[in-house]
């Protein structure tokens, strides 16, 4: 049966238990981008050159410095992230070895990264069940947080289901005018959608508390902290689900989901950040950012991050061409920093209780009343140091150990 291959459908095909389907989807999507490689490279090069021109016009040393200046974030945070993640690449390789064993394949290819094992556990629930589970998971954040969050579904903050002409994915829009936030979902009755609901509700309550507690000039918050509240909710949901399961198969399924978040957010987004920095530096030196040059750079980074535990297929060199975030001028690193901060905060909340919750709710209520590093320090995590990233990779390592035991 022929299936139309689109970007929106790619992930579901790469998750297929049929390896032939995964390989066909992966190969064909990359070959499709290869046909337009020179055009996309020229478009991206134009964006990078425009960013560099604007940074020089405003007397910045680099486009990275210009991009990070409005949010008052030192460039050392960017470099510290990359350095700390490099220190954890050995742990990522260990995970890939476990992934290979889990899938039962002799060699792991790039198209296997999103695959599910033949005997994987399935968790399904409708949106009402998912919402109840979410509210149970965030109880450690206190009665007031749960009370505010519980309004979302009955008061129709959330547009739940897929409809004709509705945009794909999920999104939360906070209001600057003291109305409620609004959440867009395309809910499916599966575990991923439950985590998506928890994620978007993290954004929604962050916006709600910021709007409620700050004057209009400080109600908004910057991207550097935007992903912290959403990912913290996901971490709390994972801990809740792991705490109530007694089935080994289900526990392995949940831990695998958690491990994939580490791989896809902490490691992969840092690799993206490293690619973006290198592409900008190439352009600043006057080197050609051609399709061949960008492909060579991207493949080299994949070999550094994902080798030697897997085959870094030639087609992966084209993946940079399908990442829209590269046009957002040093945006992607904030996914990784936000994830590390969220893991640190969720662990502190579960470990220390009331004092940690008070600090965290103060952070959610802070809007942009202080710079993001200061706001996060008030919540109990210092993103100017490598420690949160190192702690996250240490947790990743311990989860891999438990996964290995479960697979035995």
Q: For 278-298, b where at least 16 C-beta lie within 10 A, e where not — what string?
A: bbbebbbeeeebebeebbebb
Q: Please, are residues 102 and 95 in contact by the beta-carbon 8 Å criterion?
A: no
**How does DSSP classify residue 159?**
E
Token pair 């009755």 is at which residue?
Answer: 189
* DSSP code per residue over 282-326: HHHTT----HHHHHHHHHHHHHHHH-SSSB--GGGGGGGGG-GGG
Helices (H) and strands (E) in the chain, counts: 17, 3
> Which residue, among 290, 362, 295, 320, has the nearest Cα to 142 in the 3D structure?
362
* Tokens, residue 400: 């891999």
Catalytic residue among 200, 227, 234, 315: 200
> Which residue, among 204, 185, 189, has the nearest Cα to 130 in the 3D structure?
189
Does residue 83 have an active-site annotation?
A: no
Q: How far apart are CA 340 and CA 262, in angstroms?
A: 9
**Cα 334 to the center of its chain, rounded Å:** 9
Sequence-ordered list of residues with C-beta below 8 angstroms from that of 340, at least 6 positions apart, any chain? 81, 266, 383, 388, 389, 391, 392
* Tokens, residue 141: 């954040």
Q: Please, are residues 13 and 25 in contact by the beta-carbon 8 Å criterion?
A: yes
> Which residue, among 97, 374, 328, has the nearest Cα to 366 in the 3D structure?
374
CA–CA distances in Å: residue 356 to residues 92, 361, 363: 30, 9, 11
| Residues noted as catalytic | 200
């Amino acid at each position: 049966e022929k299936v139309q291959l689109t970007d929106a459908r790619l992930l579901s095909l790469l998750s297929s238990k049929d390896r032939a389907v995964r390989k066909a989807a992966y190969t064909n999507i990359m070959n499709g981008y290869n046909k337009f490689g020179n055009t996309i490279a020229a478009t991206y090069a134009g964006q990078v050159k425009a960013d560099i021109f604007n940074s020089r016009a405003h007397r910045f040393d680099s486009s990275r410095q210009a991009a990070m200046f409005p949010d008052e974030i030192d460039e050392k945070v960017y470099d510290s992230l990359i350095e700390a993640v490099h220190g954890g690449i050995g742990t990522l390789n260990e995970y890939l070895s476990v992934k290979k064993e889990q899938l039962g394949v002799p060699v792991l290819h790039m198209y296997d990264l999103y695959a599910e094992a033949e005997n994987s556990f399935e968790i399904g629930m409708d949106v009402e069940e998912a919402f109840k589970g979410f509210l149970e998971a965030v109880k450690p954040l206190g009665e007031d947080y749960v009370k505010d969050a519980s309004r979302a579904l009955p008061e129709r903050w959330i547009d739940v289901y897929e409809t004709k002409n509705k945009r794909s994915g999920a999104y939360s829009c906070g209001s600057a005018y003291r109305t409620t936030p609004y959440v867009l979902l395309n809910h499916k009755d599966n575990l991923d959608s439950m985590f998506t609901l928890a994620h978007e509700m993290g954004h929604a309550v962050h916006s709600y508390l910021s709007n409620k507690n700050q004057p209009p000039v400080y109600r908004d918050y910057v991207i550097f902290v935007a992903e912290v509240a959403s990912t913290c909710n996901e971490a709390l949901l994972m801990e809740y689900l792991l705490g109530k399961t007694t089935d080994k198969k289900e526990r392995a399924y949940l831990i695998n989901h958690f491990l994939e978040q580490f791989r896809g957010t902490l490691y992969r987004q840092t690799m993206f950040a490293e690619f973006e920095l290198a592409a900008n530096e190439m352009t600043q030196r006057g080197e050609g950012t051609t399709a061949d040059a960008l492909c060579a750079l991207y493949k080299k980074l994949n070999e550094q991050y994902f080798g030697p535990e897997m085959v870094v297929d030639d087609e992966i060199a084209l993946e940079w061409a399908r990442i829209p975030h590269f046009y957002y001028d040093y945006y992607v690193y904030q996914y990784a920093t936000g994830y590390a901060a969220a893991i640190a905060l969720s662990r502190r909340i579960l470990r220390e209780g009331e004092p940690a919750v008070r600090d965290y709710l103060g952070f959610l209520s802070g809007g942009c009343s202080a710079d993001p590093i200061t706001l996060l320090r008030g919540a109990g995590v210092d993103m100017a140091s490598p420690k949160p990233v190192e702690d996250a990779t240490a947790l990743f390592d311990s989860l891999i150990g438990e996964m290995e035991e479960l697979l035995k």
